[in-house]
A and B are shown apart, each in its own frame.
Chain A
Amino acid sequence: MPSTPKRCCLLMVPVALCAQHAAHAQSIDYGALEQLFQEPVTTSATGSPQRVTDVPASMVIITADDIRRSGAYDLPGVLSHVAGVDFQQWTDDQAEISVRGYDQPYSQRVLVLINGRQVYADNYSFTPWSSLPVELADIRQIELVKGPSSALFGFNAVGGVINIVTYNPLYDDIDTASVSAGSQQLAQGSATATLPLGQLGGVRISGGARSNQDFPNAPAAADSDLTGHINQRRDANLDGAVRLNDSTSLRVEASTTQVEQNADNPAYEYDYERYNADSLKAQLNSDSSYGLLQLTAYANRLNLASNQGVLGAPVNYTDRMTVLQGEDVFKLGASQTFRAALEYRHESTNTSPIAGAEVYYDVISASGMWSWQLGPTLTLTNALRLDDLRLGRSGSSPAGYPFPNSDWDRTQQQPSYNSGLVWRLDDNDTLRLLAARGALLPNLVELGSLLYRVPQFGGTGIPTLAPTVVDNYEFDWDRQLPQFGARLRTAFFYQFTDDMISLAGGLAAGPGGAYFTPTTIGDSSALGTEISLDGHFLEHWRWGASLRLERISESFTPATAAAVGQVDPRNETPTRLLKLNIGWSQGRWESDVYLAYQSQTAGVDYNGFVGTSVIVPAYGAVDARFAYQLNSHLNLALSGQNLLHQQQMQTSGEPVQRRWLATVTGTL
């Protein structure tokens, strides 16, 4: 066994990668590690590979089996069954996901990634789920971290992180295709094929298409753009991985997605939106005596266009992101594991509806993680990250605009941390004491990309907004109950959110007249507990039950609280969120039923300039899936969502429709 791994400067990483010849593994082989440890493995908690029961975080891993048995046809549908996850269905294809409350249209607080590549859109601080270039069959597991994780992932990982891990063509051979048809004229097709390249590696190609009619029963008073509109989604993905030598591999991923769908925007106004997203990513991995070295470069482009936009003027934002990352995870001695990382990020978005300018920032980040095994059952993990952001604006402005471009020449330094003490009391009990701070960056729209003008007034983002900071303190207790074939998980958390931002509420006067602006509206805190139980019984049955109790308080400035009404987490977050599921599988048959109940909430109905509060009564929703395995290659499934009612009010927007879906899946 080699002695202590050499500490290395990240600048030497390429040299080190080329010099390796002896080691066996390259990138993390999730399948092999999961088989060895007999539980899922993740890198999303600390950056270091860990068993899910060891992570210093409240984490849930949704396996490929869970995804298949969910009966869902998209990612939010899968996530809606997860304990403690908030789910709001605004249109057929726009669902918003949040963790521990604070859900809303264009939900901001959960950072979403695919294989570590950010798919969360910084221009509006949200995740356009339909535009994510991934087929459900490509996913090995979805890793959900509850609470801030900015020390690993940087800005915007304040409420949680969802990392979607796909199969790696270096290790996994997936060949499958499915077609679905359902109510609301839903038609969906998906295919994945892997081309093995022998010892060299492999290539996976996948794609899908979906169309469905949205709001078939919308009232005549609804916006004519919404009623009966055909939503569409198409995506294509290429994922190739090759072994460069015994220790090093290169993985390249490329994707494109086109989406047209109804959506409710951050101002709670329905619109018809189009997303065009493209990405290219390359990642070099090496498992060597220098540690687990990783170099990543990727570029995202997301074009978001809407029909109505602002005051009837279409908006068209093109967000471009370029990211370079380098990291090394290594172990010193027997009990100390470290991660050192550097990152550079460039992000830009044009102004809209008034074009002609671009708002951008560059972020340089340094981060580190130290995991110290204090004893055989006690591990202390500390992670720290510093982001240095330089904001800028280039291009033209309307006459009389109150801000010169030089006002955007600003810098911000933002520290974040995660600390966790994990104590395995015995084979059954684990305690976790967690503290974390994360930062939610004002999005580029709020920082100035929003720019409109009518004769009487205008609206613009402003450069002076500070990040929203979230502090989270948490105590978790997990207990295995082997006598019942079950597991109990509990979490008690307190979260304080400092300087929340509303898209409207401020005012800036200039020579050309007044502009409405985003503004900081105050603070919020959340106190809550999550209790979940899951297990198996009588060989063929599985079950789960979870309850989240949460109370959010707000301390908003009176003027903004009264006038804006666009940010209302206290009323939009249910105080009680209950989820139950039961499943059975035997021989060729499988069936699963999911129930979600949430207590009364109040949402916002915002038409033009005034937001009014709308009571959303408590409701229960049932999803189900029944499947039959015809032979070793063909599976037939019938699934349904929101089965209790033909349509049901679940948000302050349009009611959610019942949906039936039949799916035929072929697997080689």
Chain B
Amino acid sequence: MRPRLWAPLVCSALMALPAAAQVSDTTLLVAARALSFLQHPPQGEIIVGIVYQPGNAQSTLEATQLNAMMEDGFRAGQLVLRPRLITLDELAGSNVGLYFLTSELGHAAIALAQLNRSRKIPCITTDIVQVRDGNCAMGVRAIPRVEILVNRAAAAASGMTFSEAFRVMITEL
């Protein structure tokens, strides 16, 4: 990816929201709907690997919230999301259709980026820093305004190709 001078500014702008509000039903809905604009959108039931760090309170809280939202199946259009909690150590053995990165994984999330180069599994997060660093392809937030940030290089590495109508309406790095 060619670095963008204003990429840090984008991240700063998108990160300016309360951490506790980062994961909500609306956030998950936005994430799921955004997936429908992939050129090959996932359909039916997919297992979402909720990647978290057990020792980190915020990460664990988000993972718990996400797990609760999806445990009965989170429906968005033709997509039904079902959760699987995955620690960073369990990444290599995970068998999921989508990764959802919780916050505050820090540099440990590099492992996911490396894994994705071979597995081509879409990744979504509310932690915009992970998008900026290329560890996850797509960042979303829902409140107060829906914002979607895509790291083009990370998306290409994980096989995520979006429709042009979607691309012209989001922020890309």
Q: Is the CB of B13 within 8 A of A41?
A: no
Q: Chain A nearest CB: distance from B146 CB in Å?
A: 5
Residue of B nearest to A246 (CB): B39
Q: Interface size bucket, A side? A: 35 or more
B171 near A376: Cβ-Cβ < 8 Å: yes
Q: Is A291 touching B164 in the complex (CB atoms < 8 A)?
A: yes
| A48–B171 touching, CB < 8 Å | no
Closest partner residue, chain B, to A24 (CB atom) = B39
Given known pairs A36-B33, A376-B6, the reply for A427 and B165 (CB within 8 Å) is no
Q: Chain B residues with Cβ under 8 A from A668's Cβ? A: none
Residues 277-302 of A, flagged 1 when their CB comes within 8 A of B and 0 if not, give 00000000001110110000000000
Q: Known: A35-B33, A376-B9, A377-B13. Contact between A25 and B163, CB under 8 A?
A: yes
- Answer whether A51 and B169 are a contact pair too, CB < 8 Å, given A23-B163, A427-B144: yes
Name the CB-closest residue of A to B12.
A376
Q: Is A558 an interface residue (CB 8 A)?
A: no
Chain B residue with Cβ nearest A27: B165
**Is there a chain A Cβ closer than 8 Å to B119's Cβ?**
no
Q: Cβ of B4: which chain A residues have Cβ within 8 Å of it? A: 334-335
Residue in B38, B146, B173 whose CB lies within 8 Å of A36:
B146
Contacts of B40 in A (CB 8 A): 22, 24
Bits for B65-84, please: 1 = Cβ < 8 Å to A, else 0: 00000000000000000000
Contacts known (A32-B33, A35-B33); A335 close to B144, Cβ less than 8 A: no
| Closest chain B residue to A293, Cβ basis | B164
Structural contact, A1 and B10, CB atoms closer than 8 A: no
Whether A484 sits at the interface, judged by CB under 8 Å, is no
List A123-143 residues whose CB lies under 8 Å from chain B.
Answer: none
CB of A666 closer than 8 Å to a CB of B: no
Task: Give the docked Cα–Cα distance between A14 and B168 (Å).
Answer: 22
Q: For A1, give its contact among B14, B30, B36, B161 (CB under 8 Å).
A: B161
User: Is the Cβ of A482 less than 8 Å from the Cβ of B144?
Assistant: yes
The answer to whether A329 and B168 touch (CB under 8 A), given A1-B161, A36-B33, A376-B9, is yes
Residue A28, interface by CB 8 Å = yes
Instruction: Assess whether B156 is interfacial by the CB under 8 Å rule.
Output: yes
Contact A25 B144 (CB under 8 A): no
Q: Is A33 an interface residue (CB 8 A)?
A: yes
- How far, in whole Å, are A32 and B142 apart by their CA atoms in the complex? 16
CB neighbours (8 Å) of A33 from chain B are 165-166, 169
B residues near A288, Cβ cutoff 8 Å? 164
Answer whether residue A37 sits at the interface, using C-beta atoms and an 8 A cutoff.
yes
User: Of A22, A23, A39, A337, which is within 8 A of B168 by CB?
Assistant: A337
Contact A331 B144 (CB under 8 A): no
* A215 contacts partner chain B, Cβ-Cβ < 8 Å: no
B residues 86-121 with Cβ under 8 Å of A? none
Query: What residues of B have a CB within 8 angstroms of the CB of A377 in the complex?
Result: 13
Asked if B9 and A373 sit within 8 Å, CB to CB, the answer is no
Please determine whether A287 and B165 come into contact, CB atoms closer than 8 angstroms.
Answer: yes
Closest to A334 in B: B172
> Which residue of the partner chain, among A32, A330, A376, A480, contacts B144 with CB atoms under 8 Å?
A480
A251 to chain B, nearest CB (A): 15
CA distance in complex: A289, B52 (Å): 35
What sequence of 0s and 1s flags, for each residue 254-276 of chain A, a beta carbon within 8 Å of any chain B beta carbon? 00000000000000000000000
- Bound-state CA distance A2–B172 (Å) is 13
Check if A24 sits within 8 Å of B164, measured CB to CB. no
Within the assembled complex, what's the spacing in Å between the Cα atoms of A495 and B101?
51
> Which of A287, A330, A337, A377: most chain B Cβ within 10 A?
A287
Nearest chain A CB to B18 CB, angstrom units: 12
Tell me if A629 counts as interface (CB < 8 A to partner B).
no
List the A side residues contacting B160 at CB < 8 Å: 1
Q: Mark contacts of A10-23 with chain B using CB atoms, 8 A cut-off: 1 yes-contact digit, 0 otherwise.
A: 00000000000011
Q: Which chain A residues lie closer than 8 Å to B150 at the CB level?
A: 1
A contact residues around B144 at 8 Å (CB): 427-428, 480, 482
- Most chain-A CB neighbours within 10 Å: which of B6, B30, B171? B6
Check B164 against A292 for contact (C-beta < 8 Å).
Answer: yes
Q: Across the two chains, which residue of chain B brings its CB closest to A480? A: B144
A312 contacts partner chain B, Cβ-Cβ < 8 Å: no
B167 and A22 contact, CB distance less than 8 A: no
Q: Is B34 an interface residue (CB 8 A)?
A: yes
Interchain CB contact under 8 A, A5 and B164: yes
Asked if residues B167 and A331 are in contact (CB atoms below 8 Å), the reply is yes
- Which residue of chain B has the shortest Cβ distance to A5 in the bound complex? B164
For the complex, what is the distance from the CA of A634 to the CA of B40, rounded to whole Å? Answer: 40
Q: Are A330 and B164 in contact (CB under 8 A)?
A: yes
CB of A455 within 8 Å of the partner chain: no
Q: Residue on A with the closest CB to B171? A: A376
Contacts of B155 in A (CB 8 A): 1
The minimal Cβ–Cβ distance linking B168 to chain A, given in whole angstroms, is 5
Neighbouring B residues of A292 by C-beta, 8 Å: 164-165, 168
Q: Is A38 positioned at the interface, with any CB of B under 8 Å from its CB?
A: yes
Minimal beta-carbon separation of B162 from chain A (angstroms) = 7
Q: What are the residues of chain A within 8 A of B164 when measuring CB–CB?
A: 5, 23, 287-289, 291-292, 329-331
Query: Roughly how many angstroms separate A427 CA and B21 CA in the complex, as a whole number?
Result: 15
Contacts of A36 in B (CB 8 A): 30, 33-34, 36-37, 146
A427–B36 alpha-carbon span in the complex (Å):
26
Task: Indicate whether A376 sits within 8 Å of B146 (C-beta atoms), given known contacts A24-B41, A287-B164, A334-B173.
Answer: no
- Flag if A287 contacts B163 (CB, 8 Å): yes
CB 8 Å contact bits of A49-88 with B (1 = contact, 0 = none): 1110110000000000000000000000000000000000
Nearest-neighbor residue (CB-CB) of A25 within chain B? B163
* Alpha-carbon gap, A1 to B39, bound state (A): 10
> Would you call A28 and B156 a contact (CB within 8 A)?
no
**A608 at the B interface (CB under 8 A):** no
* Cα(A79)–Cα(B39), bound, Å: 38
Asked if A511 is at the interface (CB within 8 A of a chain B CB), the reply is: no
Q: Is A375 an interface residue (CB 8 A)?
A: yes
Closest 6 CB pairs between A and B?
A334-B172, A376-B10, A1-B156, A1-B155, A36-B33, A25-B163
A-B contact list, 10 entries, CB within 8 Å: A25-B166, A29-B165, A32-B33, A38-B146, A50-B168, A54-B169, A288-B164, A329-B168, A330-B164, A375-B9
- If A32-B37, A36-B146 are given as contacts, then 16 extra A-B residue pairs at C-beta distance below 8 Å, sorted by A number, are A22-B39, A25-B163, A32-B36, A36-B34, A36-B37, A39-B146, A49-B169, A292-B164, A329-B164, A329-B168, A334-B4, A334-B171, A335-B4, A375-B6, A376-B10, A376-B13
